[in-house]
Amino acid sequence: MVDIFEEIRRLRKEMDRFFERFGEFREFERPEFKEPLLDLTETDDEIIARIELPGVEKKGIVLNLTEDSLEIKAEKKKEERIEKEGYIKSERSYKGFYRKMTLPARIIPEKAEATYKEGILEIRMPKAEKKKAEKVRRVEIK
């Protein structure tokens, strides 16, 4: 008779080994991406996003907006080369930030404005016109 719990344990071990190996390969395929910290504020007229991108230069930021979503990609590259008599030291690192989210209200992407200062990206996105409130009309029954 087959012990179902032993079979489940065996299967779990195999899956753990598979995902460990999968993770090792993935590290070599692409650089590390982190989800940046984000504060989202909604007013009557606009949505304001403040995103922390420490150490990133403005030219390394890509911002995409649609009527209902925000996507941010940012690259942080560091290269250091020291040449002294007898040896050369060269180090490179690459990290990135990525985040995509659905916005709480529809916006007008063409009118959005973004500024970047001291590692903080601020995006001001004007809301699309609100639907006019439907007028309720009471109909008398004859």
Q: Write down the pTM of the prediction.
A: 0.63
Identify residue 3 by its one-letter amino acid code.
Answer: D
The confidence score (pLDDT) of residue 87 equals: 81
| 81-105 residue pLDDT tens | 888 888 888 887 778 899 999 999 9
| Residue type, position 12, single letter | R
H/E element, 19 = helix 4-29
Give the three-class secondary structure for 132. Answer: coil
Question: Closest by alpha carbon to 94, among 20, 13, 34, 16?
Answer: 34
